[in-house]
Each structure stands twice: as structure tokens, then as C-alpha cells.
Copies of this chain bind each other. A is one copy, B any other.
Amino acid sequence: MNDKKRILLVEDDPNFGIILRDFLKMNDYDIVLAKNGMEGFEKFKKYDFHLCILDVMMPYKDGFTLAGEIKEVNQDMPLIFLTAKSLKEDVLKGYKIGADDYLKKPFDSDVLLYKIKAILKRNKLISVLDTGEYEFKFSSFEFNSKLRHLKFKDNKHVKLSPKENMLLKMLILHKNDLMPRELALTRIWRDDNYFTSRSMDVYIAKLRKQLEIDPNVKINNIHGEGFRLVID
């Protein structure tokens, strides 16, 4: 049952699709390739997948529409979008539908592999979290997201506000990796505009203050992209 992970790949460019499929197969994934949105949805319904990788621009049915249909059936299906150009509008739309990540074409295949691995791992964590797992350890911290307590070594715990709590949790789920701004904004603030964005910056500052006691933990900014919780 610890079989290969199954991935649905929907890509209209046949050359690129086949190359990508073979590359992923070589890396021990089970790939089903569909060459448009229609076929993608048919195959989605037919098999069980762990992850879907969708090209955004496709004839007949674009990636977003397909994503909507997929989410209709399975709300928690992890999604990666492949986009030629990354319009801000598109990125937002994607996150609202429930994208887990974005990849701008052309992309480095290793980056894709890394993201696939990260998402599958994260998703597993989240589905465990659903039944109430809520204790995290990182560096010298212990973080209890149910009680909203953050403890450093033997110090007394610090209380976190709901927003601080959610943001830290999201950073941890993406630890050592980019946590996209838009993701946090759409999931935690439920809206992405100038003010929510500034509000998030304020919360990042608050978290930094809580974490500064440990020199091995940092929250880095990736300009225009988001933040990264770095743990040495």
C-alpha cells in the first residue's frame, strides 16, 4: 500500500507532455497523461490520484475550469498549475480555487520534483492534522497549535493570537520552502488586497519577534513571492 504515488498530468503540448511524463516516471511516480481538459476530467474520474498537475492554457477547457471540476469532486486534491506567463490575476484565481503551488514555464525539472515531494508530504501532514494532531517541534521550539502555545526550551510558553497561530502553522507546513503570500492571504485572511497584505506583514514582524530568541530560526522574505521559515 506504500505504492507509487499517482499523478494526473494534463498538458496539451504533446511533446512537452510526454517528456514530462517520462521524466516523472523515471522518478518513481505513476503518471497518467491527458492532452486536454476534457480528457483530464475523464481520467480523473476513472482513477485515484494523489496529485494533479494542470497546464493552465489549454484548448476547450482551461486548467482553472478543470481544477474547479476536480475540486467539486474532491475538495482536498492537491493541485499544481503550470503557467506560461504568471499574471497576478491568474495566480490569485489559482490560489482561490485551491492551488498548492505554481510553476512558471519554462521550469527546472528538479524544482518540479522538489515541489511534488513537498506537496505530497504537506498534504499527508494536513490530513493527519485534521484528526487533531497539533504538536510541532522545530529547532528548540515546541509549538502547540491547539492551545496556541509556543515554547522555547524550558522557558514558559508564550501565547499566540489566532492569526499568529495560523500563520506560524502555515509557515511550518512549508518550512524551508516558500510559503506564497497569496496562499496565506487567501487561506487565512480570506482576501488579498493592500490592507490584508500589510496586516500580514505586521504578523510576520510579530512572529519574528517571538522567534528571534533562537538564532537557528528565521523568517526570510522572498521579494514579491512570500516568506520562508528557515530552520538550520
Contact = CB atoms under 8 A, between A and B. Distances in A.
Given A86-B74, A111-B127, A222-B148, A132 B105 contact: no
B108 A124 contact: yes
Interface in A210-232: 222-225, 228
Contact of A104 (B74, B114, B131, B161): B74
Contacts of A110: 124, 128
Contacts of A118: 131-133
A109 B2 contact: yes
Contact of A87 (B73, B101, B132, B146): B73
Contacts of A86: 73-76
A85 B6 CA distance: 15
This protein's copies in its complex: 2
Contacts of A6: 106
A82 to B, nearest CB: 11
Contact of A162 (B84, B111, B224): B224
Interface in A92-145: 101, 104-111, 114-115, 118-119, 122, 124, 127-128, 130-133
Interface residues of A, number: 54
A65 to B, nearest CB: 18
Contacts of A85: 45, 73-74
Interface of A: 1-3, 6, 19-20, 23, 45, 48-50, 72-76, 84-88, 101, 104-111, 114-115, 118-119, 122, 124, 127-128, 130-133, 146-148, 161-162, 177-178, 222-225, 228
